[in-house]
């Protein structure tokens, strides 16, 4: 049986606040259930000696990296399985390497 995670992003209360010197503040407001789930997760897996700020930043960046890896894999799979569709979307695969890259269609001949 496949478990499915449904995210109700419409109910999320997230603010991205630009700051000076190329900085930003990310504010996430959790409801009671989300807060309790985070506290349970944090108390179970957070290593000793790491404060909450460091732990949350680690979770955030690990999540970004995992999402990025997933996108890269999806793009590579598309480039291999349907090269014409990939090209239409501006994705090309280097025949000499396993890398794929996005191209700007306006730069082509």
**Partners of 28 in the β-ladder:** 14
Q: What is the pLDDT of residues 46-87, one digit of tens each?
A: 999 999 999 999 999 999 999 899 888 888 888 888 888 888
pLDDT at position 1 is 44
CA nearest 102: which of 72, 67, 64? Answer: 72
Residue 95 has pLDDT above 70, yes or no: no
Are 94 and 100 in contact, with CB atoms under 8 Å apart?
Answer: yes
CA nearest 91: which of 83, 99, 102? Answer: 102
Domain assignments of the chain as residue spans, ordered by start: 9-107
- Indicate the pTM of the whole model: 0.62
Residue 48 or 10, more confident: 48
Structure tokens that stand for 23 in this block: 């900085």
pLDDT at position 106 is 54
Task: Supply the DSSP string of the chain, one letter for each residue.
Answer: --------GGG-EEEEEE-STT-EEEEEE--HHHHHHHHHHHHHHPPTT--HHHHHHHHHHHHHHHHHHHHHHHHHHHHHH-HHHHHHTTEEE-TTSS-EEE--GGG--
- Provide the pLDDT confidence category of residue 109 given band limits of 50, 70 and 90: very low
């Amino acid at each position: 049986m496949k478990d499915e995670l449904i995210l109700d992003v419409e109910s999320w209360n997230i603010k991205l606040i630009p700051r000076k010197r190329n900085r930003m503040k990310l504010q996430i407001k959790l409801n009671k259930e989300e807060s309790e789930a985070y506290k349970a997760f944090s108390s179970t897996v957070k290593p000793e000696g790491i404060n909450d700020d460091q732990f949350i930043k680690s979770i955030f960046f690990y999540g970004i990296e995992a999402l990025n890896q997933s996108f890269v894999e999806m793009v590579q799979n598309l480039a291999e399985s349907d090269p014409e569709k990939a090209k239409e979307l501006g994705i090309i695969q280097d025949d000499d390497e396993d890398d794929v890259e996005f191209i700007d269609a306006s730069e082509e001949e």
